[in-house]
A = this chain, B = another copy of it.
Amino acid sequence: MGQMTIKDVARRAGVSFQTVSLVLNHPEKVARTTRETIEAAMRDLEFVPSLAARSLRKKPSRSIACVFSVGARADASGLMQEADQGGLLQAFAYVTDQHGYTLVHRRWCSDDPDSVGRITSLVSEARVDGLVLFAERRDDPLIAMLQAKRFPFVIFGLDTPGAHFAMRAERDAVYEAVRYLARTGSRAISFLEGKRDGRRMRTVAERFRGYREALAEAGLPLRDDLVVPCDWTSESGHRATLRLLDGPVRPDAIVAADDRVAFGVLKALHDRGIRVPEAIRVVGFDNSIQSAYTIPSLTSIEVPTLEMVRFAFATLVEVIEGTRAPDDLAQRHFPTRLVVRESTGSDGRAQLS
């Protein structure tokens, strides 16, 4: 039998879970007979209030934090390049606001003692009721710290065992894009691998798996020369493309780490006088609004961001309010969708020279 929640107690006692919550937090406000019924149900079910439910005895802050792991990048460099988080933050601000929650925004840099202290105090002083962690690595020390403190949290963007998470189906996304390219005639498909601080992140490893499996299925060889590292900037996409073009194997398609990287790819190809999609086809990732306005417009992978944000927030609230048992993990991979535009040729390889 898994750990009981206040919903189980409520069902057994024939009351609403809000009443159970009230007994836990403000027993003096509940009629004695009702209270006794609920307390009996708790005993019968061997109910142990979670840390989160108990923390409700303190006045809840009705605040949640969005914490962005920025790795070793504690300085302002690359700050504006983190603007991709902007859409995500706006979505979280919208959803939290709709539900009467306040959104706290934090950067987390595990290498910076000040940053560690500030996150720790946010958690231990319970100035927020829970947090959404934008982690890049499963071994992010913040995850272990939150688990040790049994503090309510949900991870956004990374599948982490033992934690609630919302993640894009990264492997499937790239698998689908590469399969599409192969089926419509591409034979030398390059993959621009996103890196951070020189490491391949887990999400990127998942994408690489999709790339490798789609190539294998299409009977195409995996060529090291076509897998090129890049970071998450247009500049890096530009540079990686020039490197590819000067390399031993000429690609006929490029799958970029995200749309901004793809913008740099398109620019580099244009600078070299190489026609897209006729000579090289290009696929982005994220389906940013801009992708419809590049020249040519960019085929990209659409991510259901608002749906992911709603799921992460709803899960966090369930954990905070104690209506989800700690061992009842909410873990979801969200499917993406390939949006085909001019950069891959809307009528497939017919356009190829």
Q: How far is the CB of A309 from chain B (nearest CB, A)?
A: 10
Contact (Cβ within 8 A) B93 A83: no
Per the 8 Å Cβ criterion, residues 264-293 of A in contact with B are 264, 266-267, 270, 289-290, 292-293
Q: A68: nearest residue on chain B (CB-CB)? A: B93
- Residues of the B chain whose Cβ atoms lie less than 8 Å from the Cβ of A68: 93
Contact (Cβ within 8 A) B107 A104: no
Report if A171 contacts B (CB, 8 A). Answer: no
Q: How far is the CB of A282 from chain B (nearest CB, A)?
A: 12
Report if A87 contacts B (CB, 8 A). Answer: yes
Per the 8 Å Cβ criterion, residues 286-335 of A in contact with B are 289-290, 292-295, 297, 305-306
Contact (Cβ within 8 A) B94 A107: yes
A89 touches which one: B76, B89, B91, B263 (CB < 8 A)?
B89
Report if A233 contacts B (CB, 8 A). Answer: yes
Contact (Cβ within 8 A) A290 B289: no
Asked if A267 meets B238 with Cβ closer than 8 Å, knowing A83-B87, A102-B122, the reply is: no
A295 touches which one: B61, B63, B84, B295 (CB < 8 A)?
B295
Q: How far is the CB of A131 from chain B (nearest CB, A)?
A: 12
Main secondary structure of the interface of A (DSSP, over half): helix
Per the 8 Å Cβ criterion, residues 78-108 of A in contact with B are 79-87, 89-94, 97, 100, 102-107
Q: A267: nearest residue on chain B (CB-CB)? A: B293
Report if A114 contacts B (CB, 8 A). Answer: yes
Bound CA–CA A82/B86 (angstroms): 8
Bound CA–CA A90/B235 (angstroms): 20
- Residues of the B chain whose Cβ atoms lie less than 8 Å from the Cβ of A351: none
Report if A115 contacts B (CB, 8 A). Answer: yes
Report if A35 contacts B (CB, 8 A). Answer: no
Bound CA–CA A274/B174 (angstroms): 35
Bound CA–CA A86/B88 (angstroms): 8
Contact with B along A110-138 (1 / 0, CB 8 A): 00001100100010000100000000000
Asked if A90 meets B94 with Cβ closer than 8 Å, knowing A105-B104, A234-B292, the reply is: no
Contact (Cβ within 8 A) B89 A87: no
Given contacts A82-B86, A103-B104, A260-B289, 9 further A-B contacts (CB under 8 A): A63-B127, A76-B94, A83-B83, A86-B86, A86-B90, A102-B122, A233-B289, A234-B290, A264-B293
Can you list 28 A-B pairs, Cβ within 8 angstroms, ordered by A? Answer: A76-B306, A79-B87, A79-B90, A79-B94, A79-B306, A80-B87, A80-B305, A81-B289, A82-B90, A83-B289, A86-B86, A86-B87, A86-B90, A89-B105, A97-B107, A97-B118, A102-B106, A102-B127, A103-B104, A104-B105, A105-B105, A233-B289, A263-B293, A264-B293, A267-B293, A267-B294, A267-B295, A290-B290
**Residues on A close to B: CB < 8 A?**
61, 63, 68, 76, 79-87, 89-94, 97, 100, 102-107, 114-115, 118, 122, 127, 233-235, 238, 260, 263-264, 266-267, 270, 289-290, 292-295, 297, 305-306
